[in-house]
Chain A
Amino acid sequence: MADEMLTIYVMGKAYEVPRDLTIMKAMEYAGYRFLRGCGCRGAFCGACGTVYRTKDDYRLKVGLACQEVVQDEMYLSEIPFFPGNKSNYNVERLKPNAESVLKNYPEVFRCLACNTCTKACPQDIEVMEYIQAALRGDIEKAADLSFDCLMCGLCAARCPAEIVQYNVALLCRRLYSRHVAPKAKHLAKRFKEVKRRKFDKELADLKGMKKRDLAKLYDARDIEQAD
């Protein structure tokens, strides 16, 4: 039985928990109940950013509590919320360039390129690279590199220049999708068709159908072949 348990320290207090649990499950095992700092439990929402240290290692490590498995003698604390500076802007009125980044987040230009943010990212994003891309106006690269960001806030917590990287990334992705990404022509075409009420009759017919006929129609639908 003893081999199956290990000791973790949550905010300094020791708990015996079964090994192989994630940090989040281990904390719940220990009696914590999450009101904040817990969301999807599937590494998508970024609510459970956690910092920890392991025995005999000076380094501060990071992870998502719902993914990271506990280790013996792990010292940890969840950071369920990080207060981040967020600019109010109308993306329609901005251009996809360095000027827009400068105007909304002037602190980006304090970046020392120390790369501490990159080391703090549980998503293995090249955070410093995208901040640097943003500051030279390479909005496309910033949007692309930051795509997997969950906005957990660990980068901002570690930044010596006090940049809130994830909000800068969000600005860049918005600028990219609004002003840079090619417009989908088929979408515009379909939108016009919908507006001209091309599908109204078809929709009304569907609404009036019996469930059994609807199921038959569904089964006989055209299925796009995978390439």
Chain B
Amino acid sequence: MKIPYYPGCTLHERALDFDVSARECAKTLGVELEELPIWTCCGAVFPLVTDSVMEILAPVRNLAYASREGDKLVTLCSFCYHVLKRANRTIRTDPEKAEKANLFLRADTEAREEIESYTREDYTGQVEVIHFLEMLRDLVGYEAVAKKVRRKLKDLRVAPYYGCMLLRPKKEMEFDDPEQPSIFEEFLETLGCDVVDFPMKTECCGGFQIVSDEDLAIACSRNVVSSAIKRGADVIVTTCPLCRYNLDKKQEEMAKEVRGFRKIPVIYFTQLLGIALGIDGEHIDFTDNYVDPRPVLAEKSLL
């Protein structure tokens, strides 16, 4: 099965460990992630202004690019997923904005008629934006994933961290129940993990506040990390490079603030999946992690 794939800027460089592990997992599961031949930044933030289309041109153009490759688009980063999915919904539900955006994209075509790669047809929301987790559940099937598991992770206590971008706003994201989601838990159970439920799994990690108000973001992240530790987790898994950054790298500051702070590794769900599928070490890279997960994984005989 081939499926168009939108990596997003962060996965192109700063979160290569996420991208590489995901591609390798997909391959092992019989899915070929085909990176879009042209793509740009998704915009990174979904605009809340309602009287302008300028800010959704980037995600809409990416969706238009995707529409030439297939009827689905898989992405991994929570922010990309969030922005692409909401922009897609805007095109589907707001005809005025859809028309304006398409007029703008059509002008691209007129300016560059000789370049094949530019959008020719109007984009009407025909692409389905799906998260890698949804792809595993709905296209590959958790049963098929379970059959490919070579290493049972039953001794590993894993805390699934959703964050906010996948779940909220519920009406627009339609990903899972924002208060009591389960897609991540079901995925981890498929791998045979000991799933740790913790109350902060859908709380915000601080997000982009890390740029303008670091203390605030660290306070948010500390709530999440401490909650998982209190429930006895060995490791936190996430779907988002920014969550990974805040939850993992900022433990250095957390440790300075809280006496006796015990650090906990934060890894991408595709890295855990890779371990379960028996993918070799070069595709599961932990060198960018501030809290090294290798000791705990070795302790559970998973390396």
Among the 9-residue stretches B6-14, B198-206, B266-274, the one with 4 or more Cβ atoms under 8 Å from chain A is: B6-14
Contact of A126 among B9, B12, B107, B115 (CB under 8 A): B115
Whether the Cβ atoms of B9 and A112 lie closer than 8 Å is no
Given contacts A112-B54, A136-B9, contact A118 B108 (CB under 8 A): yes
B49 within 8 A of partner (CB): no
Rounded to whole angstroms, the CA-CA distance of A111 and B13 in the bound complex is 18
Chain B residues with a Cβ closer than 8 Å to the other chain, count: 21
Q: Say whether chain B's binding surface is mostly helix, strand, loop, or mixed.
A: helix
Rounded to whole angstroms, the CA-CA distance of A33 and B139 in the bound complex is 68
Whether the Cβ atoms of B38 and A129 lie closer than 8 Å is yes
Rounded to whole angstroms, the CA-CA distance of A113 and B57 in the bound complex is 7
The distance from the CB of B104 to the nearest CB of chain A, in whole angstroms, is 8
Rounded to whole angstroms, the CA-CA distance of A112 and B47 in the bound complex is 11
- Looking across the interface, which residue of chain B has its beta carbon closest to that of A113? B58
Whether the Cβ atoms of A137 and B108 lie closer than 8 Å is no
Q: Say whether chain A's binding surface is mostly helix, strand, loop, or mixed.
A: loop
Interchain pairs with CB closer than 8 A, number: 52
Whether the Cβ atoms of A112 and B12 lie closer than 8 Å is no
Residues of chain A from 89 to 130 with CB closer than 8 A to chain B in the complex = 97-98, 111-115, 118-119, 124, 126, 128-129
Residues of chain A from 65 to 100 with CB closer than 8 A to chain B in the complex = 97-98
Contact of B13 among A124, A129, A136 (CB under 8 A): A136
Residues of chain A from 120 to 165 with CB closer than 8 A to chain B in the complex = 124, 126, 128-129, 132, 135-138, 160
Whether the Cβ atoms of A128 and B40 lie closer than 8 Å is yes
Residues of chain B from 18 to 65 with CB closer than 8 A to chain A in the complex = 38, 40-41, 43, 54-55, 57-58, 61
Residues of B within 8 A of A114 (CB): 54, 57, 104
Contact of B40 among A119, A124, A129 (CB under 8 A): A129
Whether the Cβ atoms of B41 and A97 lie closer than 8 Å is no
B111 within 8 A of partner (CB): yes
The distance from the CB of A94 to the nearest CB of chain B, in whole angstroms, is 15
B68 within 8 A of partner (CB): no
Whether the Cβ atoms of A112 and B13 lie closer than 8 Å is no
Contact of B57 among A112, A126, A129 (CB under 8 A): A112
Residues of A within 8 A of B14 (CB): 98, 137
Rounded to whole angstroms, the CA-CA distance of A128 and B55 in the bound complex is 15
Rounded to whole angstroms, the CA-CA distance of A135 and B54 in the bound complex is 19
Residues of chain B from 86 to 143 with CB closer than 8 A to chain A in the complex = 104, 107-108, 111-112, 114-115
Whether the Cβ atoms of B54 and A137 lie closer than 8 Å is no
Residues of chain B from 261 to 289 with CB closer than 8 A to chain A in the complex = none
The distance from the CB of B211 to the nearest CB of chain A, in whole angstroms, is 11
Given contacts A111-B41, A128-B40, contact A137 B12 (CB under 8 A): yes
Residues of A within 8 A of B61 (CB): 113, 115
The distance from the CB of A158 to the nearest CB of chain B, in whole angstroms, is 12
Whether the Cβ atoms of A113 and B41 lie closer than 8 Å is yes
The distance from the CB of B125 to the nearest CB of chain A, in whole angstroms, is 19
Residues of chain B from 236 to 264 with CB closer than 8 A to chain A in the complex = none
Whether the Cβ atoms of A115 and B41 lie closer than 8 Å is no
Whether the Cβ atoms of A97 and B108 lie closer than 8 Å is no
Given contacts A119-B107, A129-B40, contact A135 B9 (CB under 8 A): yes
Residues of A within 8 A of B57 (CB): 112-115
The distance from the CB of B35 to the nearest CB of chain A, in whole angstroms, is 12
A interface list, Cβ under 8 A from B: 97-98, 111-115, 118-119, 124, 126, 128-129, 132, 135-138, 160
Given contacts A98-B14, A135-B41, 18 further A-B contacts (CB under 8 A): A98-B9, A98-B13, A113-B43, A113-B58, A118-B111, A118-B112, A119-B107, A119-B111, A124-B112, A126-B115, A129-B40, A132-B40, A135-B9, A136-B9, A136-B10, A136-B41, A137-B9, A137-B14
Which 7 A-B residue pairs are closest in the complex by CB-CB distance?
A113-B58, A136-B9, A137-B13, A132-B40, A136-B12, A119-B111, A113-B40
Contacts A/B (CB < 8 Å), 13 sampled: A97-B13, A111-B41, A112-B43, A112-B54, A113-B41, A115-B61, A124-B115, A128-B40, A129-B38, A132-B40, A135-B9, A136-B13, A137-B9
